[in-house]
Structure 1
Amino acid sequence: MRTDYHTHTERGPYTVEWLEHFLRKAAAEGIAEYGVSEHGYRFKQTRELFDNEWTAERRQQDLDEYMAMILDARKAGHRVKFGIEMDYVPGRDADMREFLKSYPFDYVIGSVHWIGDFGFDLPQFLPEWERRDVVRTYEEYFEILLQLAESRLFDISGHPDVIKVMGYEPEDAAFFQGWYERIAAAFARNGLAAEVSTAGLRKPVQKLYPAPDFLRAFRAQGVPISLSSDAHRPEDVGADYDTAVAYIRDAGYREIVTFTGRERSMVTLT
């Protein structure tokens, strides 16, 4: 079985007709469980959880309309999971917990896209990378990722090492191993799944998330994994999945995680 839980339909209207473009591509790729996980920052309902100048310009949608699209698709006979991708911001745990209880999500992806005001994966922030100490930036990112795990707010950690997206990486390979082991242990302790994402192959770094040693650290700790494309266009649903499946098997995994109503199950990866 293959899944694609991390996808975004936000470039079009919240209609079943638009969603069907994604569903058709999922079917063509042999994806048995497809889910949508829109960015939480796009909705007016999340303003109190995370807001800055960049998100304020994009917070123009209504989460209830998004949910209605999913429910209408189900009424039309489509199998589609209802998810959301939330930016984790330290210090807002209680408010986010209450928000997440207010919608019938099948799963919640927690991601780190910001270090303070630094949107490290956004092209307009690329010059900031040249001014930053790369090692220190990774340390800041990993510290937030540890807090994300300890919060127990989420079901899946989205693209766990997305910090490498622009191709900036510490030169000392030994730097990573301690962090990988600490983070994997935190994921295992807090029941958090790690996402294997093909999106990095379409980014400047041109690598899968997470790195091979990171994925092996998750495996050593018994952390379950999800499989996703992070597609923002129908044509990217299930992208590079044969590559990802071989990558996952090489790390020793034979199963992936699925969710319904935030309850986790394991299925054989095919």
Structure 2
Amino acid sequence: MGDYHVHLHPHVPRPDSPPPGVYPEDYVDAFVETALSRGATEVGFTEHLHRFVDFEPAVAGFWNVGPRADLTEHSRTYYYDDLNLRLDRYVAAVLGARDRGLPVRLGMEVDFFPAHLEKMTAVLRQYPFDYLIGSVHWIDAWSVDHPAVAYEFERRGVRRAYEDYFGLVADLAESGLVQVLAHPDVVKKFGHRCPEEPVDLYRKVVDAARRGGVAMEVSSAGLRYPVGEPYPSPALLRMSHQAGIPITLASDAHYPDQAADQHMELVRYARAAGYRHQLAFRVGGAAHLVALPDPDAAAPTEPTSSEAGR
């Protein structure tokens, strides 16, 4: 039972965070040790694609769409401020942890830039990823989950923002690019909600996920933000279960103490929607289902001395 969405480098470093692109063994190990202590059995590392200089020729300039200079400038600045990792070092760090016997998988969080898929895929194919998760962080030039430009919800309107966002998630689901949809309703991160649950938009995503053969990520990250609930919403998760879409569990950790954050609460959340299994990935990428435990099941008791003698 894995945590399949973990980052080794934060966007905002702490005093004990290593420099970007540096992967001390004890720091990598700390993510795994924390996750195992919280009930996970393996960890999938999934660094952001857009942070790697290797992808700059493939994706740079994705923000040059639309008439909004404020959004374009914010995304350009944010991109280059975060462009500080190298693929060979990241891959070596994760494979090194595996060689030390740790239960880890090599993944990548693939940011969805629709006009750049061919070039992105050409780079991804050069590395031995066990799986890829996909996410929508940008609607054209708007970084939809960045607090500095959250004012765009008011300018655009929440319903239109949701329509634009979920349209891209549906496209991602059918792109053939990834195996998992990461935090599939992160558009709600800051608490912006439609007056009514956008079930019609959820249906488009669920149908696309079924056609595309991708899993839905169930993430505790939303519990750390103003929205105060996991991704996806209960309604979207129930619809996914009814459609037969598998799930993965995730923390979206960016620091060691966030690994497998509230993991057993996620298990309860998934089970409440009807799920009894989670998708897992073997080394090399083969996917298989593993049972979700019942966190509230009574633990077996030790037999008494009289029972033991029967």
The amino acid across from 1:184 in the alignment is: V
Q: How far did residue 227 of structure 1 move?
A: 0.3
Contact persistence 1:200–1:208 (CA under 8 A): yes
Q: How far did residue 245 of structure 1 move?
A: 1.1
Q: How far did residue 82 of structure 1 move?
A: 0.6
The residue that corresponds to 1:123 in the other structure is: 147
SS in 2 for 1:49: helix
Contact persistence 1:40–1:86 (CA under 8 A): yes
Q: Which moved more, 1:9-18 or 1:209-218?
A: 9-18
SS in 1 for 2:46: strand
Query: How many residues were matched structurally?
Result: 267
The residue that corresponds to 1:161 in the other structure is: 185
Contact persistence 1:155–1:262 (CA under 8 A): no
Larger radius of gyration: 2
1:268 aligns with 2:291: yes
The one of 88, 108, 120 equivalent to 2:132 is 108
Contact persistence 2:251–2:260 (CA under 8 A): yes
Cα–Cα, structure 1 residues 179 and 128, in superposed 2: closer, same or farther, change >3 Å?
closer
Contact persistence 2:51–2:84 (CA under 8 A): yes
The one of 18, 22, 36 equivalent to 2:31 is 22
Q: Which moved more, 1:128-137 or 1:160-169?
A: 128-137
Contact persistence 2:112–2:136 (CA under 8 A): yes
1:43 aligns with 2:52: yes
The residue that corresponds to 2:245 in the other structure is: 223
Q: Which moved more, 1:73-82 or 1:163-172?
A: 73-82
The one of 119, 124, 131 equivalent to 1:95 is 119
1:202 aligns with 2:224: yes
1:172 aligns with 2:196: yes
1:9-88 to 2 correspondences below 5 Å? 9-11=8-10, 12=18, 13-51=22-60, 52-88=76-112
TM-score by length of 2: 0.83
Q: How far did residue 22 of structure 1 move?
A: 0.6
Contact persistence 1:110–1:157 (CA under 8 A): yes
Partners of 2:86 and 2:121 in 1: how far apart?
A: 19
Q: How far did residue 124 of structure 1 move?
A: 1.1
Partners of 1:263 and 1:49 in 2: how far apart?
A: 27
Partners of 1:33 and 1:138 in 2: how far apart?
A: 33
Gaps of 5+ in 1: none
TM-score by length of 1: 0.95
The amino acid across from 2:2 in the alignment is: T
The one of 247, 251, 259 equivalent to 2:269 is 247
Gaps of 5+ in 2: 11-17, 61-75, 294-310
RMSD: 1.3
Contact persistence 1:149–1:186 (CA under 8 A): yes
Partners of 2:100 and 2:24 in 1: how far apart?
A: 12
Q: Which moved more, 1:192-201 or 1:143-152?
A: 143-152
